[in-house]
Structure 1
């Protein structure tokens, strides 16, 4: 658990805001939460945040909710985990249901569907930038080419190989060729 005592209200409001109103998917949300929790408020050190992120990525199901629970657990124990889970899931479920009902009505409009295609292209770019934001603190000048090579190989491999095996291979590369410190 963290040495910083965050109120449950402040923790919940932080996750309502950043887990529900960040565009770009789970990676963008994690990067935004990282800026709030690690950089701005200094509730957790970078290492603890990275550990929760890594463990959440290994859990089955919705990784973002596992991540939110892990952060909540480190900051406030069981109550923190419950608060962050509810704050990260209930508002966005209501927002998603509302948006999907609206999209269902608008899907018959050609201009709307063209805009939706543009939004999808933007989401890919936002995801790429977010991934770099998360990885950047762990990349040095000596390891940047290795990181780019592994990322490129994973991108190519995912077209033909299930993501689980791509992650397994990336873990094996990291284990067999550890970063020199």
Structure 2
């Protein structure tokens, strides 16, 4: 007979209870694997990604990198996993057309990938994205990193960064993306 389970808090996890950490792993595993299947990776890759996401999640909790959750534990864990999926897809698609990353920026997709890209494998477009991302102000870089890299929702960003409303977050994100697109286009007008 299954008992009603109480909500797990960050403080509970920081205590390092093997039972609670195992519970988080098991409660999210099948949900994540179902979510990951839409990205057409192999089942083995999805399992590896979930395990890697969980290790990062665990390390972030235990090292104190996470001071509070602005979303559910599942949402935070899935955000890490979503980034790892996109990273895996990027590595698998080395033969995809060279506009891949710029298309993500152009479409304001939730798939903007890791900003600190591996130096040795950067395409021209990745170099443009990296250089112009790094030229943005700290507030824009933080907001875009939270949204695209860490998978935060607009509401979560509002709470995490102490914005006054969701509309302010949306407007700021829109301005940051517009600035990024304009800088990339100014440097390479035929691409966008």
Query: Same-fold call, TM > 0.5?
Result: no
Q: TM-score, normalised by structure 1?
A: 0.36
Q: Which is richer in helix? A: 1
Larger RCO: Structure 1 or Structure 2 (Cα < 8 Å, ≥ 6 residues apart)? 1
Q: TM-score, normalised by structure 2?
A: 0.34
